[in-house]
Amino acid sequence: MKLLTGGKDISQLIEKITWSGDTSQVSRKINFTIAQNKKDTLFPNVSIDIGDEIIMQDNEGNNIFGGIIFDADKKGSSKTVSYLAYDLLFYVNQSDVNMVFSGTPESIVTQICQKLDIPCGELAPTNGVVVKSPCFGKKAYKAIMMAYTVAARKNGTKYIPLIKNINQLCVIEKGTLCGAVMTGDYNLIDTEYKSTLQNLVNRVIITNSKGNQIKVIEDAESIQKYGLVQKVMKQSDKEDISAEAQKALVSVENSGSVSGVPNDFRAVSGYSIIVQDEVSGLYGQFYIESDTHTFTNGKAQMDLTLAFENLMDEEEIEKDTNNKKSK
């Protein structure tokens, strides 16, 4: 593994690297700490500034991560400097767009990339889904997810944006197998399988704007087995929130986590992985919700949080009230 900045390999100065991602955090990031000794003229000090580019490569020279330094924390007592860099999805998540997008999700992402001056990479096909999405002062990331949410509801495929090849904005089918396999007799060092009922909701009462009950959606089997926990949701006139109420039902939630050595760069959030550990009960295909890859003292370890269900960050398209008022 190599870490480069300004074309210079600084790997020999690195004390620790943590490369991580989370499906709820949008952009991937890298934290790294380097040794520094300004008083020793023979010590190979390196100058890294806020705004500098940082690139991580594997041992074969393939680019794994590219990002921009956002934070620098210098500690004189320990003679180290810690840095934090985000990939270009940070800019997508922070930047606003202001227009009405019309076309396929792929064409909308291409337009957004052009406006933000970010190279556009591989975009998961949506099979001709057409979207009209007014985005006035909306985050570019939200605009992308609005478009792909429409596609997901029509074709059943989940989507997630990622940065690949250092600076290319891509959209993949969320849950695609990453190619890595973790087994108890090879690379697994720890596993955890957890089930919880703490978020149980098995009946939703829908009321109108006056509070009168108009509909009940429930999971009868869950009520019989676990007891009743109900939630009240109010819908406005001419609105039907049945689908939203159905999503509010929560039964047993399963989750898992695994730790493995050696590290595998393919195992990142947004993809899925095969785990085979009969002891913990984690056996099959699981969705990576978060990942942390740690490199220190020549050793590499990955820690993954796994989900049993493939969920997408859905964003609703808001109605174009400006056009309505002008009619």
Instruction: Check whether 136 has a pLDDT greater than 80.
Output: yes
Q: Which CATH architecture has domain 2-87?
A: Roll (2.30)
Instruction: Check whether 251 has a pLDDT greater than 50.
Output: yes
Judging by DSSP bridges, how do beta strands 203-207 and 2-5 pair with one another? unpaired
Instruction: Check whether 132 has a pLDDT greater than 70.
Output: yes
Q: What is the mean pLDDT of residues 129-152?
A: 95
Judging by DSSP bridges, how do beta strands 53-57 and 96-103 pair with one another? unpaired
CATH numeric code, 91-174? 3.55.50.10
Topology of domain 177-196+253-307, CATH: Elongation Factor Tu (Ef-tu); domain 3 (2.40.30)
Residue 318: its pLDDT value, please? Answer: 74
Q: What does the pLDDT look like over 11-67, one tens digit per residue?
A: 988 999 999 999 999 999 999 999 877 776 667 778 899 999 999 999 999 999 999
Q: What percent of the chain has pLDDT over 70?
A: 96
Instruction: Check whether 263 has a pLDDT greater than 50.
Output: yes
Instruction: Check whether 327 has a pLDDT greater than 60.
Output: no
Residue 280: its pLDDT value, please? Answer: 81
Q: Give the residue, 91 or 7, on which the prediction is more confident.
A: 91
Residue 325: its pLDDT value, please? Answer: 41
Q: What does the pLDDT look like over 281-290, one tens digit per residue?
A: 889 999 999 9
* Number of CB atoms found within 10 A of residue 304's CB: 25
Do the beta carbons of residue 186 and residue 260 sit within 8 Å? no
Q: What is the mean pLDDT of residues 190-195?
A: 90
pLDDT tier at 326 (50, 70, 90 boundaries)?
very low
Residue 216: its pLDDT value, please? Answer: 97
Residue 246: its pLDDT value, please? Answer: 93
Place of tokens 């690297």: 17
Instruction: Check whether 100 has a pLDDT greater than 80.
Output: yes
Instruction: Check whether 168 has a pLDDT greater than 50.
Output: yes
Residue (of 263, 287, 306) closest to 17 by Cα position: 263
pLDDT tier at 70 (50, 70, 90 boundaries)?
very high
pLDDT tier at 267 (50, 70, 90 boundaries)?
very high
pLDDT tier at 324 (50, 70, 90 boundaries)?
very low
**Which three-class secondary structure string do you get for the chain?**
CEEEECCEECHHHEEEEEEEEECCCCCCEEEEEEECCCCCCCCCCCCCCCCCEEEEECCCCCEEEEEEEEEEEEECCCCEEEEEEECCHHHHHHCEEEEEEEECHHHHHHHHHHHHCCCEEEECCCCCCCEEEEEEEEEHHHHHHHHHHHHHHHHCCCEEEEEECCCEEEEEECCCEEEEEEECCCCEEEEEEEEECCCCECEEEEECCCCCEEEEEECHHHHHHHCCCEEEEECCCCCCCHHHHHHHCECCEEEEEEEECCCCCCCCECEEEEEEECCCCEEEEEEEEEEEEEEECCEEEEEEEEECCCCCCCCCCCCCHHHHHHC
Instruction: Check whether 82 has a pLDDT greater than 70.
Output: yes
Per CATH, 2-87 and 91-174 having the same topology is answered no
Q: Where are the domains of the chain?
A: 2-87, 91-174, 177-196+253-307, 203-248
Residue 320: its pLDDT value, please? Answer: 54
Question: Which region among 23-32, 181-190, 287-296 has the lowest average model confidence (pLDDT)?
Answer: 181-190
